[in-house]
């Protein structure tokens, strides 16, 4: 009788141990669209340097995320209002030529938007992933008309 109880108790313990240790849920492989967005800061810096050569641009901020680019333009004080759109279009073209995978470019010279992009860029440079700024970039994108190709 003791052996039978011991056998059943041992069997139950083994089954519980197996259930607890061996039944963790399988991880699903990530598809490319599910992978966290990353940004190559040297690539962004290279694109920003190219944009900074445009007449009328003081300094630019560039964030590349997947196939989307966000560009903030700090324009020189003497730039006429009518020339702003031309400069933004030229910046968009420089991004497209520099990074062929980019399909959508958001360009703004609005001071508030440029400030927000600078904060995101600083966070990324400090080591935070682009994915932690998804909400902010989405909000910025809603405010700007994209230039698609």
Contact, 62 vs 114, CB < 8 A? no
* Rounded CA separation 56/79 (Å): 6
pTM: 0.71
Helix, strand, or coil here: 58? strand
Residues of the chain with CATH 3.30.70.1350: 36-148
The pLDDT of residue 4 is 74
For the segment 70-94, what is each residue's pLDDT rounded down to a tens digit?
A: 999 999 998 988 899 999 999 999 9
For the segment 33-67, what is each residue's pLDDT rounded down to a tens digit?
A: 444 445 677 899 999 999 999 999 999 999 999 89
Superfamily of domain 36-148: Cation efflux protein, cytoplasmic domain (3.30.70.1350)
């Amino acid at each position: 009788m003791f052996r039978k109880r011991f056998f059943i108790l041992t069997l139950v313990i083994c089954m519980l141990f197996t259930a607890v240790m061996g039944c963790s849920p399988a991880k699903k492989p990530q598809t490319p669209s599910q992978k966290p967005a990353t940004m190559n800061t040297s690539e962004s810096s290279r694109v920003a340097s190219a944009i900074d050569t445009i007449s009328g641009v003081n300094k630019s901020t560039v964030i590349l995320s997947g196939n989307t680019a966000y560009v903030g333009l700090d324009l020189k004080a003497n730039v006429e209002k009518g020339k702003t759109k031309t400069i933004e279009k030229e910046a968009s073209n420089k991004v497209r030529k520099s990074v062929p995978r980019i399909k959508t470019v958001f360009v703004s010279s609005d001071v508030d938007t440029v400030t927000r992009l600078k904060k995101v860029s600083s966070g990324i440079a400090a080591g935070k992933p682009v994915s932690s700024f998804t909400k902010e970039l989405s909000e910025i994108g809603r405010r700007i008309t994209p230039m698609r190709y």
